Structure 1
């Protein structure tokens, strides 16, 4: 709007405490920075020279001075999406399980309401039920995919405001027929039809794989056991209790033999 002049003449009489509104529709130039302030000066008519400006820093200024009013207009760029994908643990035995976690985020720019999050269907992997956690104003998509016993994701209409994230998690079971050294990869993609949208790593769609490797324990080589797992903690507790009971029984038997010996 630089260099443009807009004129308007109010018809009739402007009463004390009255107002006159001039509505201006403006198009922000594509090259404008993300935060732009437009300043539009308004000049009091010369027919009323006794009037004073009462806007902003010009309060009490000389008659017929220009009253300056400004309206901040904040512009935003296109959305920039990011996608992370992980599998834990990264190595399992044949028939073992791994947890897949997919996080879709809108890092900057403007909101999207048409995001698409999907995974492929790799062989030798059975996916369990997906769960969703939203943050930053995002909304979890209610989809039949999230209530299926197993299957890939294929979610449409993802709502991701700037700074919003959606985290999807599912447990996958790997085939028991897999051999040592095999691996299974689950690929995830995030896309949007929003004009100008990009991925933090480049052009859309964002794509991230998560791979689980298969390791078969060699003879005499035990597989690592997750000691923080609930079933392992229960097993360790049972072993400790059994050991304590055996020790107490042996102590009682030794005491009895000693008394009989006397």
Structure 2
């Protein structure tokens, strides 16, 4: 997201729960505030000295060591985000001191003692989250909604930490499926004055992932390396807010055919796009594994970013493209979002193209473009080298040429490729063949990341030939496909055989849903005139003599995704002066002109009942996203 993009924080949506523990959803809205103001909202992994494998210890908020600052006298500063200027909302959480003596005799400690001794250097075999530490755990799961940009999650506020405290995040279900993964961020140690909490998910992987997450603080008392709370109080005080930006849903990939419009000249350029990488629209289909090429069908992730990948959200020229990657099983602390991804092998084979990422949607190529001129024009980045364009026609051989694309992952590189071989008329699957330089994504620290990001157009030169009018259309099936980019002439005839002269009759025609960008003209017998234009139903008023017929001719483009019957309906409302609007006086027929313009192929006329049913079916087909073919600028 660029600097001009408005910041969205997160909202807490209270969810009903069967127990006292509720959940909060992190979505676009207001900040989520977490504090130690209520001890009932917190639990711990600590155990009593008397029962090291027993029940967790009880957290106390009635004890205060004499060296801890008083939160009741503190106010948040500017570094605390929207908490700035607000009083601290929190108490010191601890286990007290098992050798506690109240008041001045013990240096000014206060509390209600006595406090049983608690083990403060946790043992993971006995249930501790972090070895050598005791963790205070927030009971309310934090649910991250699917529309949150994980890299923008930020935690700001303040707290007191006795002594060396780590912020801990444990996602319930990271993409790898791990159940015990946690991520820690060092908050330092400060208990005499409030310490600043400012953790930025765009700089480090905080460890949050979609779904439920548990937040905690892992405290290590470093004074004389104590192992229990006897004579060594271990406490925590925190008041923070969690915010995040929304992750905008990627726009659909363009469906426009790569074809030149009528009137284009040889050498004119046409282009379609932009196409962008994102996990929804791209997948992993091939990999070289142990020297052998494998066909796979694996998901890619755009929630993962290796620490050295540039951040597309900070580019001066905005893009909706995202890094697509298999992720790594062992991310470094600065990899984003800081959670493990599924193990994957076969990323490369000794420095040659090893993995193929393809776009789910194909590129349709028309008949009047020069196949030898097709290129990609845009911005690209790849981890790491030897990157080329992959092309697989619907009925043809897959191909990938030389190294057409930029190497490296630190910058978004603008380039136009040489001509890409392998395209054919009709549908083509395209993608990128990339090589991260490793055979698996399981190396320590996430350095074996593999990724790609692209924002590009597909361009071509025109041959100068007119668009193809080769159609295959019938009016007997609601699922008949029509050739993309073709021009259809559609004739609608409506008649009125009223016994008297009719004036001001209204013609209503429902155009087929498969047609778009329609323009129409009409001619009526007996001197009647009519004129209209637009795209949608025809509604026009005409003057008709007895027995007159009015014919509308519709010329429209057919889009790449068009399908369905091209049969339509037309009717003329009985005008004033017609006293007996019987079916004979109010009838309609419909015909379709297919093949080349001007060569009509009529269909049988339907009676009114059939036309009414057909009109209802046509209206239910829905609109198709059809676009006029434009010459590239």
Q: Which interval holds the TM-score relative to the shorter structure? A: 0.3 to 0.5
**As a proportion of its length, which structure holds more helix?**
1
